[in-house]
Structure 1
Amino acid sequence: MSGPFNDRRPRRSWLFTPATRPERFDRAARSGADVLIIDLEDAVPPADKAAARDTALAVLAAPPAVPILRALRINAPVTPDGLEDLLALTRRPPNGGPDCVIVPKVDSAETIRWIDALLSGMGRSVPLVALIESARGVAAAEEIANASPRLAALFFGAADLSADLGCASAWEPLLSARSRLVNAAALAGIEAVDSPFFDLTDAAGMQREAAAALALGFGAKAAIHPGQISAINATLTPTEAEIAHARLVVAESVKGVAVVDGRMIDEAMARKARRILSRATSAAQPQED
């Protein structure tokens, strides 16, 4: 599936902005975030859903003020508001919509399949991102990840999942669920996006969690405030030292088993090094109109 979302632009940081606050869109777009999420779901009161939908679609009909990828989080597709969101998307001109659609509350592959069928039937090629935020969704992560060629990423929802499990919304209690989502995404060859860090007063904690997400295998992390973006981008962008080491590992790996900086390397380590170089190349790509 072609389009801006499937090119080599970076997608390290995803910033939520309520569709009811269009005055924040410009600041969010200029925050340095790679993806702006216009949110129709949790951030919008029930009475404001219809107006928020109209606002979001009007904004998306025009090019962004600055180059940035734009995602639309719709309401849960099993709700009337979610169905209205999807139908509204099918009525828009093909070039007047989001770069991807984030589908919340995905707990089965069938959800992605029928949305794919609906959009395909209306000639829409927009990629989908499945937000996994329930025990059922985690259990079905592998099947969801392979539900459709339209699916571009799995998105981990810590807040709703912690409520579903009755556990704290913290790293350790949700580590096994995060690991399962990363594994499912890797098996399907799609991206994995980590949940936002919700404590806006703990910058150090946010940076630690972004580093932990990267170490676990996530390629991106969401944010709920523009002030979190620079730390996410910095953490998820390889350093010059990491890039230099990765290049050396790749170069030496052609010899078979070799030694770099006192450590034995083989093809498995070369694969990891190539991933680092790919992330570095992506991060260096300028956003385009």
Structure 2
Amino acid sequence: MTTRRRSWLFTPATKADRFDRAAEAGADVLIIDLEDAVAPADKAGARTAALDWLAKPADGRIGRALRVNAPTTAFGLEDLLALARSDARPDVVVIPKTESPDVLRLVDGLLADAGKPTRLVALVESARGIANADAIAQATPRLEALFFGAADLAADLGAEVAWEPLLGARSRVVVAAAQAGIAVIDSPFFSITDEDGLAVEVRAAVRMGFTAKAAIHPKQVAAINAALTPTPDQVAQARRILVENAKGVGIVDGRMIDEAVARKARRVLAAAGEAV
């Protein structure tokens, strides 16, 4: 799986003819979606199409993820059992409606029994999930990221799907992920035509500490990748900071350098895909 996971692009599992094309859109991870994008009558066929595609050899250029239905539903259990019994080997399984660590441990055990090294991403998108974010983030070593879900959470809270009303919940998820030392993915921006709005929101997500953002359309990928890729000047400054920090407390560009600043510099280099 690609080492940089800035952009996660959703593609409906009912659109098997688009899987290969979506994989060429420039996203770091492609999420084949069995949940919200698939009507109940289409679940079985979509599941088969997704697992067949994920059984094909990966070329390593893009991470491959599968969003199953919630494991607390019959569709979700069928998704997970079919995955366990198949030759499909997604890099990641995205678990929607995650509200407690128990469901992640259940999926972890199922994947372990099936001999699959697939990692997990917990989609936190309800009031209960936000309240339990810390415990969810610590559930299993197989968990690689928390994923903030704005639309379902807004419906749960009776709030608007906008940055300000969900700011506190977003912050809660970022803190939980940081405490656990895992990645944190921001919700998609739901207006496909509002390029300025997307740019504003992805910049805000980066400033808050999100390490990635999801996309619902290929045209959103470039803006997300750009915002989450450090500029050459930022990379150069990060290198200077680490050189100076190795000598002890110092000054770079008129700013005092200590270990806290060095930690941020290491994150900049990691985001740029450089070894630290």
Return 5+ residue gaps in structure 2 as ranges: none
* AA aligned opposite 1:56: A
Question: What residue number does 2:82 align with?
Answer: 88
Q: TM-score, normalised by structure 2?
A: 0.96
SS of the equivalent of 1:16 reads strand
The question of 1:205 aligning with 2:197 is answered: yes
Q: Deviation at 1:122?
A: 2.6
Most deviating of 120-129 and 205-214: 120-129
Return 5+ residue gaps in structure 1 as ranges: 285-289
Q: Write the deviation string for residues 40-71 of structure 1: whole angstroms up to 9, x where unpaired.
A: 00000000000000010011111257831110
Higher relative CO (CA 8 A, sep ≥ 6), structure 1 or 2? 1
CA RMSD of aligned residues (A): 1.4
> What are the within-5 Å matches in structure 2 for residues 247-258 of structure 1?
247-258=239-250
Q: Deviation at 1:97?
A: 1.9
Tell me the percent identity: 62
SS of the equivalent of 1:231 reads helix
Q: Write the deviation string for residues 22-45 of structure 1: whole angstroms up to 9, x where unpaired.
A: 122122111100000000000000
Question: What residue number does 1:220 align with?
Answer: 212
The question of 1:122 aligning with 2:114 is answered: yes
The question of 1:154 aligning with 2:146 is answered: yes
1:70 to 59, 64, 75: 64
Q: Write the deviation string for residues 106-144 of structure 1: whole angstroms up to 9, x where unpaired.
A: 000111111112222232221111000000001100100
SS of the equivalent of 1:281 reads coil
2:31 to 24, 27, 37: 37
Q: TM-score, normalised by structure 1?
A: 0.92
Equivalent-residue separation in structure 2 for 1:12 and 1:254 (angstroms)? 29
* AA aligned opposite 1:178: R
Counterparts in 2 of 1:163 and 1:59: CA distance versus 1, 3 Å: same
Equivalent-residue separation in structure 2 for 1:281 and 1:39 (angstroms)? 27
Equivalent-residue separation in structure 1 for 2:138 and 2:58 (angstroms)? 31
2:129 to 137, 158, 162: 137
* AA aligned opposite 2:272: A
User: Is the 2:70–2:96 Cα contact (8 Å) retained in structure 1?
Assistant: yes
Equivalent-residue separation in structure 1 for 2:125 and 2:33 (angstroms)? 16
User: Is the 1:131–1:154 Cα contact (8 Å) retained in structure 2?
Assistant: yes
Equivalent-residue separation in structure 1 for 2:42 and 2:116 (angstroms)? 26
Aligned residue-pair number:
275
Equivalent-residue separation in structure 1 for 2:155 and 2:124 (angstroms)? 13
Question: What residue number does 1:230 align with?
Answer: 222
Question: What residue number does 1:287 align with?
Answer: none
Equivalent-residue separation in structure 2 for 1:63 and 1:210 (angstroms)? 32
* AA aligned opposite 1:262: G
User: Is the 2:89–2:116 Cα contact (8 Å) retained in structure 1?
Assistant: no
